[in-house]
Each structure stands twice: as structure tokens, then as C-alpha cells.
Chains A and B, each alone.
Chain A
Amino acid sequence: MLVRNWMQRNPIVIGSDTLVHEAKQIITDNNLHGLPVVDDGRLRGLITRAICLRAAHYVLRTQDADELNYFSTRVKVKDLMVRDPVTIQASDTMEHCLEVGIEHGIGQLPVMENGRVVGIISANEMFALAAHFLSAWEKRSGVTLAPLEVKPGLIGQIADIVEAAGAELQAIYPIGKPTDVNPRTHPLKRVVIRFHSDDTPRVAAALEQAGFAVIESVQAARPPETTDTIQH
């Protein structure tokens, strides 16, 4: 799961001498969130939709024709862009990319390889990643268990119970807190279970019988014949 395989390749880039209103046009036309700013092959900054909109807001608020004129004919990308932006390497893992994004509270990361911009990770790519992980289009049913210590054997035990209850198990995701960084301490984690089944309550009941506390239960609408029980 490397950044290389998830990033948007060959992103549109612009030079720092471009006017901001041109940059904004490129961002809007291509439905982007940010543009890497590249001069002579070297990444110099990042200009985002939010930066452009904020600057435009400052200008419009003055209600001054000269200020507006200055903004649309003189302000360049180099005046507004964030310099020395946070980047990731194409060879980094997506986990690292997510960590960096959360640490800095940013949504656009230029992807570098040998000092050149080869891609970009933005909210679009993050949506794609999450959708793939949850197979959002597959419409799985699911059950979530209250926080547990995920020790060896637990996942297998859960898998056995779910499959014995007649479901086709697809995935089990233990979800911990960002503060629990040491897996050796077996921190408490909620366990999200995703499967195909027309009878989610039966799966939930089987899990509760085995001593697990069920905190969420979702029956997905499935395309096949039996579409009479829809729960959310």
C-alpha cells in the first residue's frame, strides 16, 4: 500500500509568476483542491483553493475598486502560496501519508520522487482510499463490538461466530485511539465487522451470546431476491 499506487499521477502544476486569478481558474476548472507550484522543476510551494478564496474574501470585504483591480491584475501565486510545503515520498506507505496529514492538519500533499513532483494526494485520493477499504459500493452489512483487548485468537474467534451465524465474513477492523501507539499493551479497540448476510440480527445475537457487547448493527440493502428487511 504505497503512496505511488494511490496518488493522482502527473498533477497539474503552475509557476510562481502565475496570477492568482489564473490559478484559481485552473483549480476551479479541474475541480482540484490545490496546485503544487513548481519553478524550473523545483517544488517552491503549494497554492490551495482555500488560500485563493480567503485572499479574495479579504479583497472583496474592502469594497474598494482599486484593491480589487490590484488583486486581479497584480497579485501572483508567489504572494499567497505556502512555501516549503509538507510533502511525502512516492515510496512512503499510505499509513505514513495519513499520519502526516493528521499531524499537520492538511489535506493536500505533493508526492515527491528524486526531488520532483510526481503526484499529489488530496481529499479525493483519501476518499478513494477509504471507499476501497470499506468496499463502499459492495453494500456490506455490519456489526460493531464495544472496545475489547484484541489479543491473539480473538479475531479468529469472532470470525468463527460470524460465519457460524450464516454470514459471509468480509472484514474485521479493530479501531483504536490515535493515542494508543504501542500495540504490545493491547489497548482497548472497538471491533468493526463487515459481512454479507440477510439476517444481521442473527449475527448480532450470536455475538452477544458469546459474551461480546454489540454497539452498532447495520443491515445493508442487497440487490438479490430477499429485499424485504431493510434496517439502518
Chain B
Amino acid sequence: MNTVLAAKPDEAATKIPLLSWFEECTKDSIPLVGGKCASLGELISSGARVPPGFALTTAGFAEFMRAAGIQAEIAGLLHGLDHDDLDRLEKSSAAIREMIESRPMSIELEDLIGEAYRKLSVRCCQASVPVAIRSSATAEDLPGASFAGQQDTYLWIRGFDDVIHHVRRCISSLYTARAIAYRLKMGFPHDQVAISVGVQKMANAYAAGVMFTLHPATGDRSVIVIDANFGFGESVVSGEVTPDHFVVNKVTLDILERTISTKLMCYTVDPRIQKSVATEVPFERQSIQCLIDDEITELAWMAKKIEKHYGRPMDIEWAIDKALPAGGNIYILQARPETIWSNRQPAATATATASAMDYIVSSLLAGKRLT
């Protein structure tokens, strides 16, 4: 796929793409496409099965703001705000978001996104493929800098008009009251923040969830822990249901532990209106395991490969697609380094008075850092 370049001839030397396909992104593309999309690019290059898609880059975002010609108005609305004055913050935020979401996009940018969406649809062999649209913040990885509205995710968006509308909504999430307040407090200038928007083929998930390549409760790196529910992964990520819980041995891929819970609801698509809806899980399915054992094993195997690629414990989002044949139906949707246990200093595993053999055995049990 071609990277579509900014068309200004005088910028020939420093052309920054307004749009970038995920496979062109690597972990070094964070300033361009944000953390989320960069990690998807990195996953694709690691060989994981990731739904295809593209990102409107931060350059594309800048072009959007320039073409909309609303920077001055936004600056005016933000002027003199105080991060404690919640009423005014909310009011300004609503005005700005309304402005961003109502302005028509420039024809050039619309064509860029439209053409990429068309190519994506052809690639997925669908007439206007359903996509997930999510903002991808460039500062996501800064400690405590989770301000840029990167929680914004719109599922099962179909058709050009809806895609453009939700891309705009993702852009406007840069100006939520919370984000503005945070920037005021931390002294970030408003005109220097940037956001990227990812448009990714929606996995038609039968079941989905998250997995960790270490035990989140104990930090045990010898296991992979999988949480799963029917439908899209959002119900697991948001904690709205108690998911099925599996613990898999990382070496032998045996399922060591399984907890089947009563899953009352899930998010799935209503095929009639073509929208993502929260729905009740049919009674007869509520308390059965939502994955078959083969899928659990394959998930664990994929998690192992991803952990190997990154060289550190990972937190992975995945989905099992209804439309794909068994054996090739697992999609990896997101992978980020696990932060809680990885940042913790390894505790002493042997007491000072123990023998040399105790020390060796205990360090074998706990795993030893090589680097």
C-alpha cells in the first residue's frame, strides 16, 4: 500500500504522510500515529494476526485543524480558563467539541480517508467494512499523561459518512473537559497537543477478551492468564461482566485452572441496525465456557510469541472472529507492556542465611533477569 503524502510541492523534502497504513507503522512511529496504532504496526511486523487498518496521522490531524480554520476560536474559548472551574471547563469543552464535530472536512482529507476506507473494504472483501475507530494519543506512554481521551473507541462503524463523523468525534476528544483541565494543570500548551485516529477492520467477535503473559495477581511469569466473554472485548475490558478465567502453563500450554462464571451480558452487533449493542447472553449460554480448549491453547501460544517479540510481559487484547475458519480465526487487537509487575523490584527470594543451594533453587523458581 502506498503512503499518501501531503501534496504541497514546497514540502517535498519533509513530506509527512497524512495517512498511514498500520503495516507501515513501527514502535518508532508514536509521534506520527500515537501509541495504539504504532503498537499495532509493531504487532503486524512481529507476525501476529491483526485486523488491517490505517491511521489518520498527527499531520493529518494538523491538516484537519488548519482546514477547519477554528484554531483561533478554540484558543479564544480556552483563554483564561482555570482547571478548577469545572462549569466553565465543561461549557468551553462542549462548545469546542460541537465546533469540531459540525465543521465539514476538507475535500482533500475526506478523499484521503474515503479512499483508504474503500481500499480497506476491498481488502476485507466486504461492501463498506465495519470498522472500529479509536483515538491514538501520542503522549499515552508518558507517565500519568493519560489525558488525551484515548479511551474513545467507537465500535462497528459502517459506511463513509459514519466513518468521517466518528473520526471527527475522536479528534474532538482532545478537548474533553478532563483533557483541558489536565493540560492546564500540567502547563501543556493547547496548540501543541496532537492526536491520531486509527480506523481498523472490526473483528466480528464471537468471543473476546484480554490475556496477560504473567499472572496479574501474583506476578508469576510461568503462566498465561486469559479472561474471556462472548461478543466484543469491551465487556471484559470495562469490567461489566465477570469473565471466564483461564490459567495456562506457558511452557506446556496445558490449561491449569478454569473458572467458568455466569456471563449475563455481552456487546455484539445488531445485524438489523448494524450497530454495536449491549445485549443479554441467552440463558443456555450464560454458564458455559465461551472458548473451546483448542482456542485457549492457540491464544496462549500467540501470547507467548508476542511476549518473545517484545521481550517483556504483555497485556494483550484479542478476539475470535465468527467469519473466519477455525484455526485461523484469532485476531490480536492490541498489545501493551504489562506495567504493574514489570515496574516492581523483584523481591528477595532467599533469606540471607540460606545455603547456596537454596539460593540457586529459589532463583530458578522466581526467574532471573538476564539483562
Contacts and interface: CB of A to CB of B under 8 A. Distances in A.
A58 interface: yes
Name the residue in A58, A74, A83, A84 with the highest tally of chain B Cβ atoms < 10 Å from its Cβ: A83
Given A70-B274, A75-B128, A84 B160 contact: no
A199 interface: no
A58 B159 contact: no
Interface stretch (B8-16, B47-55, B110-118): B110-118
Nearest to A61: B125
A66 B125 CA distance: 17
Contact of A76 (B111, B121, B126, B160): B160
Interface string A76-112: 1011111110000000000000000000000000000
B114 A78 contact: yes
B126 A58 contact: yes
Contact of A59 (B114, B117, B127): B127
A76 B121 CA distance: 14
A16 to B, nearest CB: 8
A78 B160 contact: yes
Given A58-B127, A74-B159, A79 B272 contact: no
A75 B118 contact: no
B239 interface: no
Nearest to A79: B128
A225 B211 CA distance: 88
B18 to A, nearest CB: 14
A114 to B, nearest CB: 18
Contacts of A212: none
Nearest to A57: B125
A55 interface: yes
B327 interface: no
A80 B128 contact: yes
Given A66-B271, A76-B160, A58 B125 contact: yes
A113 interface: no
Interface string B103-140: 00001000100110110011001111000000000000
Contact of A84 (B115, B126, B161, B272): B115
A71 B107 CA distance: 25
A83 B114 contact: yes
Nearest to A56: B127
Contacts of A20: 127
A43 to B, nearest CB: 11
Interface string B74-114: 00000000000000000000000000000000010001001
B213 to A, nearest CB: 35
Nearest to B110: A83
Interface string A42-81: 1010000000001110110100101101110011101111
A204 to B, nearest CB: 51
B182 to A, nearest CB: 37
Name the residue in A66, A75, A79 with the highest tally of chain B Cβ atoms < 10 Å from its Cβ: A79
A20 B160 CA distance: 13
A74 B2 CA distance: 29
A75 B111 CA distance: 17
Contacts of B161: 76, 78
Contacts of B271: 64, 66-67, 70
Nearest to A70: B274
A59 B128 CA distance: 10
A70 B159 CA distance: 10
A79 B274 contact: no
Contact of A75 (B114, B117, B159): B159
B115 A75 contact: no
A79 B107 CA distance: 15
Contacts of A54: 122
Interface of B: 107, 111, 114-115, 117-118, 121-122, 125-128, 158-161, 271-272, 274
Q: Which 5 A-B pairs have the closest CB atoms?
A: A66-B271, A55-B127, A79-B128, A83-B111, A83-B115
Given A79-B128, A80-B121, A84-B111, 17 more contacts: A20-B127, A56-B127, A61-B125, A69-B272, A70-B158, A70-B271, A71-B127, A74-B274, A75-B159, A76-B159, A78-B114, A79-B121, A79-B127, A79-B160, A80-B127, A81-B118, A83-B111
5 contacts: A70-B158, A70-B271, A71-B127, A78-B160, A79-B117
